[in-house]
């Protein structure tokens, strides 16, 4: 589970048809001439393209009105509209050049941070301005290390987006097979944990015996910001292949006692750093308890995305310190390093795998999941769930034998348990540098 890219590094969104970003990822404010139809819109874009070729946004002085103190300034707002349209029509290097000039113009303002805030408020006042700003910030994050002054501009925009996307403003909606096809298609595009293979696969995930919930912003009602997929079972699930099997009969929800969160996906790279995931899970748990009062327990079936990379960097001595039986004498030679252990675990997960290899793999994964850096769990998914007050409950062998699962974690997955009465205590332990774990996990240490 995860990734609210807040959870895992962002990846390029896929189109279910052509592998290209969907239109809502390259967003633009609506044109003032929208009522005149697509021909007028195309004409406007052509004129703006020619305008860009000739001159207008190529020096800082031309951009100064954008930072003006009056948001009702008609001339400045016309300039903002033209800039947004030209930016949307541009691609690649042209966009980066426009951002570089904007950052330079911002840095030249008195009280630059306040001036940048005025700029983005002016952009936000444009038609469909909020969607435009989310797309703009995605580009800013992409080029922030390459364009001077862009980090300061990004900081100002992130602060505003945090306020404009406050969780209190978001709508929680359940998505079903009866939801609009255009919305269901976005689930295929944005799913970041377990790729949706087909429309039948999607239908299985939003069926009556499953749940899929998403947060929406009122100004972007057609775009889920983050969504979670939920399955139900009589016990805690330990294998994603079985969970995603479309051939299984529907679950009897009257007998369900466990809700399993098996995928969380952030959809907007431009909202990185603005977390709604913890609020989403709490809202969903409340919703599920109201709808299915016989539910007793809540857990995840989550990936361990950084495990193979972490293990691959360990020396033979570091691996041995984790996996060896402390009652036995330390081995002197012939101990595999982490890279060889990654290969060994992948091979074992794809086949039967000896009990010795399985036990070593579980101990290595337990050590990784409890590793901390700068006061936070090293693994991004662990960071999210432990930061919400969950605890590491169980590590599952060969739980994800997909190519992605084998690549990132040698097929291992983990259950995080959300025990509602223990969330605050677990969070306190994490703040003390000791992630909460079950007895079974503790015995692996």
The confidence score (pLDDT) of residue 186 equals 95
Task: Name residues of the chain where pLDDT drops below 50.
Answer: 1-36, 52-54, 327, 329, 331
pLDDT of residue 57: 67
Out of 1.10.287.3510, 3.20.20.10, 3.40.50.300, 1.20.140.90, which CATH number does the structure's domain 55-165 have?
Answer: 1.20.140.90
Q: Tell how many helices (H) and how many strands (E) occur in the chain.
A: 19, 9
Are 55-165 and 168-302 in the same CATH fold?
Answer: no
Question: What is the overall mean pLDDT for the chain?
Answer: 87
Residues involved in catalysis: 302, 385
Helix (H, G, I), strand (E, B) or coil at 268: coil
Q: Where in the chain are the domains?
A: 55-165, 168-302, 307-444
pLDDT of the residue at 415: 98
Q: What residues contact 436, with CB distance under 8 A and at least 6 apart?
A: 386, 390, 391, 392, 422, 425, 426, 429, 430
Q: What is the pLDDT of residue 31?
A: 36
Q: CA distances (Å), 32 to each of 82, 118, 126, 339, 416, in order?
A: 10, 22, 10, 58, 50
- CATH T-level topology, domain 168-302: Aminopeptidase (3.40.630)
| pLDDT of 43 | 57
Q: Which CATH superfamily is domain 307-444 in?
A: Malonyl-CoA decarboxylase, catalytic domain (3.40.630.150)
Q: What is the pLDDT of residues 255-285, one digit of tens each?
A: 999 999 999 999 999 999 998 888 999 999 9
Q: Which two tokens stand for residue 213?
A: 């919930």
Note whether 284 and 310 are within 8 A (CB): no
């Amino acid at each position: 589970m995860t990734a609210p890219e807040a959870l895992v590094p962002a990846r390029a969104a896929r189109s279910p048809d052509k592998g290209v970003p969907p239109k809502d990822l390259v967003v633009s404010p609506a044109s003032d001439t929208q009522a005149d139809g697509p021909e007028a819109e195309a004409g406007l874009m052509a004129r703006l393209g020619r305008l860009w070729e000739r001159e207008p946004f190529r020096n800082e002085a031309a951009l100064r009105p954008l930072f003006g103190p009056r948001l009702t300034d008609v001339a400045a707002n016309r300039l903002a509209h033209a800039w947004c349209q030209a930016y949307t029509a541009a691609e690649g290097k042209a966009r980066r050049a426009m951002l570089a000039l904007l950052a330079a113009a911002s840095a030249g303002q008195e009280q630059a941070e306040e001036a940048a805030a005025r700029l983005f408020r002016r952009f936000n006042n444009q038609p469909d301005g909020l969607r435009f700003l989310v797309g703009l910030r995605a580009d800013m994050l992409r080029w922030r290390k390459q364009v001077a002054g862009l980090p300061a501009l990004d900081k100002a925009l992130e602060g505003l987006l945090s306020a404009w996307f406050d969780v209190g403003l978001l709508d929680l909606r359940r998505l079903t097979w009866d939801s609009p096809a255009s919305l269901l298609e976005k689930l295929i595009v944005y799913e970041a944990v377990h790729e949706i293979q087909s429309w039948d696969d999607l239908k299985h995930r939003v069926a009556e015996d499953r749940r899929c919930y998403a947060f929406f912003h009122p100004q972007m009602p057609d775009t889920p910001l983050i969504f979670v997929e939920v399955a139900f079972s009589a016990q805690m699930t330990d294998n994603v292949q079985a969970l995603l099997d479309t051939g299984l009969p529907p679950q009897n929800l009257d007998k369900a006692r466990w809700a399993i969160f098996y995928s969380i996906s952030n959809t907007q790279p431009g909202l990185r750093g603005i977390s709604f995931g913890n609020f989403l899970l709490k809202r969903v748990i409340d919703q599920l308890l109201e709808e299915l009062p016989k539910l007793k327990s809540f857990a995840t079936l989550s990936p361990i995305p950084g495990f193979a990379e972490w293990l691959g960097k360990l020396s033979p001595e570091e691996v041995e310190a984790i996996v060896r039986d402390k009652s036995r004498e330390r081995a002197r030679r012939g101990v595999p390093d982490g890279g060889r252990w990654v290969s060994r675990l992948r091979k074992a997960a794809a086949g039967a795998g000896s009990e010795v290899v399985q036990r070593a793999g579980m101990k290595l994964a337990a050590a990784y999941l409890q590793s901390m850096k700068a006061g936070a769990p090293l693994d991004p998914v662990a960071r999210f769930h432990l930061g919400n007050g969950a605890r590491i409950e169980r590590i599952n062998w060969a739980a994800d034998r997909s190519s992605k699962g084998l690549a990132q974690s040698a097929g291992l997955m983990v259950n995080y348990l959300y025990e509602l009465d223990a969330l605050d205590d677990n969070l306190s332990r994490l703040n003390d540098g000791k992630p909460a774990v079950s007895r079974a996990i503790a015995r692996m240490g």
